[in-house]
Amino acid sequence: MALSRKFSVKQYPLSVRSRRSGETTPTGGGLENYIKVKWHHSSESEPVELYSELDENRYEVRKIEMYRSGHLDFADGSRTSGNTRLGELPVPPIHEINDDTQFEASLISKETFEALWKNL
């Protein structure tokens, strides 16, 4: 599967390991909206970790991309940095992302995401 930069890394090739074990299904109130995806590759120009805040339909609301150097780029509904953009499609379930061995997805807490976002 090729990664579509539009899905924001991209769209997690329809499977950017954003949802591996322990994923919960979106259902009102206690919905798990935060994911981390490790992208295993050797390119210096692509991010190695992707952090996304998702809405109830699994569309990205905010995204952070981390590069090997530690540099961070981001996107939200009104701002972007570097080549980072919000995905145009819903992020697939973690188990689908994890079906592609170049990705390793997991759920993260809101606090973890907010701590990274605050340091941009």
Which pLDDT score, from 0 to 100, does residue 63 have? 98
pLDDT on residue 25: 37
Please report which helix (H) or strand (E) contains residue 107, including its range: strand 103-107
Q: Is the pLDDT of residue 2 over 90?
A: no
Distance between CA atoms of 113 and 14, rounded to whole angstroms? 22
- For 63-101, letters b (16+ CB in 10 Å) and e give bbbbbeeeebbbbbeeeeeeebbbbeeebbbbbbbbbbe
pLDDT at 3 over 50: no
Per the CB < 8 A criterion, the answer to whether 10 and 20 are in contact is no
Average pLDDT in the chain: 81
pLDDT at residue 32 in the model: 65
Cβ neighbours around 10 below 10 Å, total: 24
Q: How confident is the model at residue 38 (pLDDT cuts 50, 70, 90)?
A: very high
What average pLDDT score do residues 14-37 get? 50
Q: Which pTM value belongs to this model?
A: 0.77
Strands (E), 24-71: 34-39, 49-54, 60-66
Q: Are strands 103-107 and 72-75 parallel, antiparallel or unpaired?
A: unpaired
The percent of residues above 90 in pLDDT, for the chain, comes to 73
Query: If you count them, how many residues does the chain have?
Result: 120
Q: Could you tell me which residue, 46 or 23, shows the higher pLDDT? A: 46
> In sequence order, which ranges of 1-120 are alpha helices (DSSP H)?
94-97, 110-118
Q: Using one digit for the tens of pLDDT, what is the confidence trace for 50-104?
A: 999 999 999 999 999 999 999 999 999 999 999 999 999 999 999 999 999 999 9
